[in-house]
A and B are shown apart, each in its own frame.
Chain A
Amino acid sequence: MAGTIVRTMVVGTWLGFTLSQIGFSDYDQLHLMFTFQDMRMLFTFVGAVIIGSMGFHLLAKIGRRPKVHRPIHKGTILGGVFFGAGWALSGGCPAVPLVQLGEGTLPALVTAAGIVIGVVLFQWVQRRHLNWDTGSCLH
């Protein structure tokens, strides 16, 4: 258990460092990417997907490929649109506000609080009204 927590934190630290070095935590860089004024981070993203697929092939070869099952469901498009709009507004894909806090950017606390409220709000709406099978982000 403790070993798992340490491993998880190591990957989190690595990801935070990586996102910061890419410029993902910088709203200006993000805005340049989404308006196609600078293709650098778009290339990074596409390159990462290609390297990721190669990595998953290797994992399959050594018998360590995890189960991945992400079918289309009712929330796939609408949830994506909400997320994309929020990302363009706040600059915060869910990892970014924490990376920004580490960099010393204090307003990111507001983004992080917004995310927590959004998560709670969806879970409430889900329980009360929707009961969609959206799959968990965790699995």
Chain B
Amino acid sequence: MFVEGLWPWWLGALALGATCFGYPLLLGRTCTVSGFWGGVVNWRQEREAARAEAELAANPQAAEEAMLEAVMAELGGEIPEEIQAELEAMAAADPELSTPPSQSAPPRTAGPWGYLAFLVGLAVGGFIAAVARGEASLSLTMSPTFHAIFGPGALLALAFGGLLVGFGTQMAGGCSMGHGLSGTSNLQPGSLLSTASFMGAAVVVSMVLGRLI
């Protein structure tokens, strides 16, 4: 339960839990890691999306006005009386329709450069931690158990395992961060089921691999 040099479980829980809600506090959306990989791979598409979102954030009424204009053009410039009355009744029944939601913080889109910055930050953080522990050095090997399991197939295991991680996280729409932490702490059904699936699969595969040592 205690490993020399590493944090005790409760300190790790505090730091990881803080990331889970600190990211939305700073950036107005939940934290993800697999999403950043997808965002960097889809660089051009994400750049366009970030640009569109920034424009919308600068002028939130623009989209609404454009939509209204299109509808008006279709109707020939006038809203029929019965529709107008219906809209007013709807707005009266549900005040949320007529007032903008104030519950959520304004999301900040980092865009692909932001996603890349996050991924680079992960490496910087790993470097700082390794230096702090006095373990920073270049190494051509993984940890001992890994090589005991895979022997000469080590690089193949990394490549194939990585491929499954990339493929699976995109298919599930999240990883141990987006589903495992952000989603489960909001009791999202998709996240709970996906977390159970990846933890279950990881346990089964690890149990089988453990027999190879």
Q: Which of B60-68, B90-98, B197-205 contacts A (4 or more CB under 8 A)?
A: B197-205
Say how far A75's CB is from chain B's closest CB, in angstroms.
Answer: 4
A89 interface neighbour in B118, B164, B181, B185, Cβ under 8 Å: B164
Please tell me if the beta carbons of A68 and B182 are within 8 angstroms of each other in the complex. yes
Contact with B along A24-60 (1 / 0, CB 8 A): 0111110100111011110111111111111110111
> How many residues on A have C-beta within 8 angstroms of the other chain's C-beta atoms?
117
A137–B166 alpha-carbon span in the complex (Å) = 12
Contact with A along B169-213 (1 / 0, CB 8 A): 111111111111111111111110111111111110111011000
Q: Is B117 an interface position by the 8 A CB rule?
A: yes
A103–B201 alpha-carbon span in the complex (Å) = 27
A66–B104 alpha-carbon span in the complex (Å) = 5
Please tell me if the beta carbons of B1 and A9 are within 8 angstroms of each other in the complex. no
A9–B176 alpha-carbon span in the complex (Å) = 19
Contacts of B137 in A (CB 8 A): 104
Please tell me if the beta carbons of B155 and A31 are within 8 angstroms of each other in the complex. no
A44–B2 alpha-carbon span in the complex (Å) = 12
Say how far A15's CB is from chain B's closest CB, in angstroms.
Answer: 5
A83–B199 alpha-carbon span in the complex (Å) = 9
Contacts of A90 in B (CB 8 A): 157-158, 160-162, 164-165
Please tell me if the beta carbons of B162 and A115 are within 8 angstroms of each other in the complex. yes
Please tell me if the beta carbons of B121 and A116 are within 8 angstroms of each other in the complex. no
Q: Is B56 an interface position by the 8 A CB rule?
A: no
A29–B187 alpha-carbon span in the complex (Å) = 27
Please tell me if the beta carbons of B21 and A95 are within 8 angstroms of each other in the complex. no
Known: A12-B117, A106-B138. A122 touches B10 (CB 8 A): no
Complex: chain A residue closest to B195, CB-CB: A80
Q: Which of B23-31, B71-79, B80-88 contacts A (4 or more CB under 8 A)?
A: B23-31
Please tell me if the beta carbons of A53 and B186 are within 8 angstroms of each other in the complex. yes
Contact with B along A81-123 (1 / 0, CB 8 A): 1111111111111110111111111111011111111111111
In this complex, the member of A12, A59, A79 whose beta carbon has the largest number of chain B beta carbons within 10 angstroms is A12
Please tell me if the beta carbons of B12 and A137 are within 8 angstroms of each other in the complex. no
A111–B186 alpha-carbon span in the complex (Å) = 30
Contacts of B179 in A (CB 8 A): 70, 80
Say how far B114's CB is from chain A's closest CB, in angstroms.
Answer: 4
Say how far B157's CB is from chain A's closest CB, in angstroms.
Answer: 5
Contacts of A86 in B (CB 8 A): 160-168
Interface residues of B in 111-133 (CB under 8 A from A): 111, 113-115, 117-130
Interface residues of chain B, those whose CB is within 8 Å of chain A, are 1-3, 6-39, 41-42, 54, 102-105, 107-111, 113-115, 117-130, 135-146, 149, 154-155, 157-191, 193-203, 205-207, 209-210
12 new A-B contacts at CB < 8 Å, known A94-B166, A108-B142: A13-B125, A19-B125, A31-B145, A35-B206, A70-B191, A79-B173, A80-B179, A84-B203, A88-B203, A94-B176, A104-B137, A137-B174
